[in-house]
A and B are shown apart, each in its own frame.
Chain A
Amino acid sequence: MDKLPLGLVQDLYQVVPYKTGSWRTMMPVNLMQIPPCTHSCPIHNDIRGFLRVLAEKQDYEEAWHILTRTNPLPATCGRVCPHPCEGGCNRRDFDYPLAINCAERAVGDFGLEKHLEHRKLIAKRKERVAVVGSGPAGLSCAFHLAKRGFQVKIFEAKSEPGGMMRYGIPAYRLPKEVMNREIEAILRLGIELECNAKVGVNIPMDQLTQFYDAVFLGLGAQLGVPINVPGQDASNVYTGVDFLAAVNRGKPVEVGKDVVVIGGGNTAMDSARVAKRLGANVCVVYRRTRVEMPAITAEIDEALEERIMFRYHTNPVKILTEGGRVVGLWCVQMELKEPDASGRARPVPIPGSESVIPADTVIMATGQAVDYDGIELQKIDNQWISANDLQMTSLHKVFAGGDAVTGLETVSMAIGQGMRAAGAIEDFIEGHVESRMAPPPVIYSKDLNMYYYHKGKRFQKEALPVHLRLKGFSEIYPAFDPQEIAREAERCFSCGLCFNCGNCYMYCPDNAVKPSVAGSTYEFDADFCKGCGLCAKECPCHYIQMTLEK
């Protein structure tokens, strides 16, 4: 026997350790769960994934590829999405939610700048799918189908693709250049686009169902619905949709000095802000108060910043005309009584409170409807397409998504539905009965160990000063600094995904946590783990959880 150092009588490295793993009743496991940001995102973007890549490697290219696995329009969503993800962010309970929307825009812009190409998942297949409408829903469905190898053709009624993104969203929110380039990148996946082809009018619906293996309807809600008041057929009364479409097409619209916008939704806000940029004094007339307005809060704030006047509790009674042109709006004040069927307070007129608002143009942003010309299918309330949670409609092999199904919703909601429909169409064509997995549980802040996180400041996007914004239609938020966005990404809690903090490795009293062979995370040594649960308790992001021993 070799002489042992330091007077040892037994070679301690030859010891066969006693296996304490048999004491265990609970066993730690690594579980990847859904973070609340992904859960509250209508597209289920892997937000944690792209933020971790930004924080660890500042690799914008990989972040773009992670994001475009689900969302084909990151630069667009980064500008117009009302970011429900930030409302879900677990940091909300700690300091401030992450500026996910800004990060998304920065990543999307990087992709546009570097002309990154989408990755195709599998080789070409022979099945063909027709997509009606090239709005966010149609583009998303076409994108996800094309990635899966289907031959996709988009039919667009208007002369250019984009749907409501092009004709509804003003350029100061979404520059046309950004949208055009994102759409081009999607079309480069091999998607055919036929413009000026209105399905139901130019092309019969039967023809599509006959020649294609499946059809997706992303019709959108493109018809403005005016309210019924006397004088509404005067020459300078517009619906919000028509007004925005005319401006977005580049048609000169003469709005005059005073513009009155009726309504409190996003179209009303957009119309008001566009009219303001055309040089008018704008007044928004709404029956209820700011609290009940369906518009995105940030939009209302920005409209207020741009000195747009809001008149709440005000209801139009009559449009005053002179020689076929509007001169004013006859209004009555309302008071709010018990809630109506929609859950919002019911406005009731106050007698004797009538007043006149002078107006050269009246824009009625009071609702939108779907143009069903030549398309017959089952509807809800005779208004929206009836579709199940797989986006299937009453017609055989016809799927639908977007505003035409949900009522008036966001771009991200439409993209999410397009994506879900693409999955359903694939299942439908391949004849799968049940292939979608139930989603894993969501992690909330009560599951996290907040001790290991530091409070920090949130990234604040800076808008241009109001006098510069109102000069034209240039974007109101200048580009963000990529370094600052990467710093913001470091604030991500990484809920439910190991970020190699090493707590489990250092705290295990039994040394039963070992770095995994791949080196990315940690593994548990079942021979020695006593199942005390210390690692799970001290795991900041709840990646480690205790389960019953089998």
Chain B
Amino acid sequence: MMRALASEDLYRVEKKDLFASGHRACGGCGQALAARLVADAAGENTIACLATGCLEIFSTPYPDPTWRIPFVHSLFENVAAVASGVEAAYRILKKGPVNIIAMAGDGGTADIGLQSLSGMLERGHNALYVCYDNEAYMNTGVQRSSFTPLGARTTTTPTGNTTRKKNLPQIAADHGIPYVATATPDDFRDLQRKVKTALAVEGPKYLHILAPCPLGWGHPGELTIQMCRLAKDTGLFPIFEIIGGQVTNVRKIPVKLPVEEYLKVQARFRHLFPKSGPAPEVAEIQEIANLNIERFNL
């Protein structure tokens, strides 16, 4: 069930600074940018539930939190359960309506928090789950997560990750939930539209946002937006929505780029490009991108 939204509301860019200045994120943090875009799109009538992670650490220290909306601090693994509880409490107390957004990093979503996320989606709580995907446990010092892409160097995979990235949007969609989407902060209009669309849908929703991490990925902070763009244009991060089980609104790539352009900028992939020529993983990563392009008809 979807509340009707006028298209000018849907496509309007929101800047309310509900996620204000003064947070302790690194310069050029993609997650801080994405969190502000999500909070501004959701509006004042929102409760943020935060899993342990970078976002929770840099935005909530007492006495000067950066949120201008209420937030709940939870553990690493149970943010979806906490959001479910908040939603259930509001329902029982007959308060609201209020937007409930659970926010977690990729570790808290794909590894530790997967069971509670699955529970929230399966029980059908009316909450939005936003995963800020920076492709490793950045908060604790860049350890590998199940979202770490193939070939990426982390402190626990010093010679490069050997597994492929988990496809969580598909896992979430397979719970039969009404709305799943992916987004990147460089296209803020699209990201905010997806947040507003998701919040207008009754039931559990899942939004997957790529959040480049200058520290963990090893690119200059000024290139955060550029990294989003390259991830999209190489086909490594497809942008789509899954509404009622159907993949729609796929973003077509205007000019397809080879994955090298994306990989070469980042220090975590630098070992793939020794002087003797690119490592075999590069071809495999290109194959992943080609698979995405074919599968989503990018």
Contact = CB atoms under 8 A, between A and B. Distances in A.
Contacts of A23: 27
Interface in A507-550: 507-512, 525, 527-528, 530-534, 536-538, 546
A17 B28 contact: no
B137 interface: no
Contacts of A511: 17, 19-21, 36
Interface in A420-469: 451
Q: What is the interface of chain A mostly: helix, strand, loop, or mixed?
A: loop
A12 B22 contact: no
Nearest to A512: B21
B225 interface: yes
Nearest to A503: B225
Interface stretch (A2-10, A279-287, A377-385): A2-10
Contacts of B29: 509
A503 to B, nearest CB: 9
Contacts of A510: 21-23, 25, 32
Contacts of B68: 12-13
A18 B24 contact: yes
Interface string B11-45: 00101010111111111111011001000000000
B197 interface: no
Nearest to A506: B188
Contacts of B25: 509-510
Given A23-B27, A527-B21, A534-B221, A15 B98 contact: no
Contact of B22 (A24, A528, A532, A546): A528
Q: What is the interface of chain B mostly: helix, strand, loop, or mixed?
A: loop
B36 A532 contact: no
A20 B33 contact: no
A115 interface: no
Interface in A321-359: none
Interface string B161-176: 0000000000000000
B67 interface: yes
A16 interface: yes
Given A7-B70, A534-B28, A509 B64 contact: no
A19 interface: yes
Contact of A20 (B13, B23, B28, B186): B23
B253 interface: no
Contacts of A16: 64
Contact of B67 (A7, A12, A537): A12
A505 interface: yes
A8 B70 contact: yes
B226 interface: yes
Contacts of A7: 70
A404 B109 CA distance: 78
A533 B188 contact: no
B237 to A, nearest CB: 17
B229 interface: yes
Given A506-B188, A507-B33, A530 B27 contact: yes
Nearest to A20: B22
B15 A505 contact: yes
Contacts of A17: 20-22, 64, 66
Nearest to B18: A12
Nearest to A17: B22
Contact of B33 (A10, A502, A509, A537): A509
A6 B28 contact: no
A65 to B, nearest CB: 34
B274 interface: no
A352 B223 CA distance: 69
Nearest to B47: A6
B57 to A, nearest CB: 13
Interface in B56-107: 61-70, 98
B27 A537 contact: no
A158 to B, nearest CB: 59
Nearest to B21: A528
Interface string A4-45: 001110101101111110011000000000000000000000
Nearest to A537: B222
Contact of B225 (A10, A13, A507, A528): A507
Contacts of B23: 18, 20, 510
B63 A533 contact: no
Max chain B Cβ within 10 angstroms of own Cβ: one of A505, A506, A507: A506
A444 B19 CA distance: 37
The 8 closest A-B pairs by CB, nearest first: A17-B22, A532-B27, A533-B222, A532-B28, A532-B221, A530-B27, A528-B21, A537-B222
30 contacts: A6-B47, A7-B70, A8-B70, A10-B62, A10-B63, A10-B65, A15-B65, A17-B66, A18-B24, A19-B22, A20-B22, A24-B27, A451-B229, A506-B188, A509-B27, A509-B28, A509-B29, A509-B30, A509-B33, A510-B23, A511-B20, A525-B21, A530-B27, A532-B27, A532-B28, A533-B27, A534-B221, A536-B222, A537-B222, A546-B222
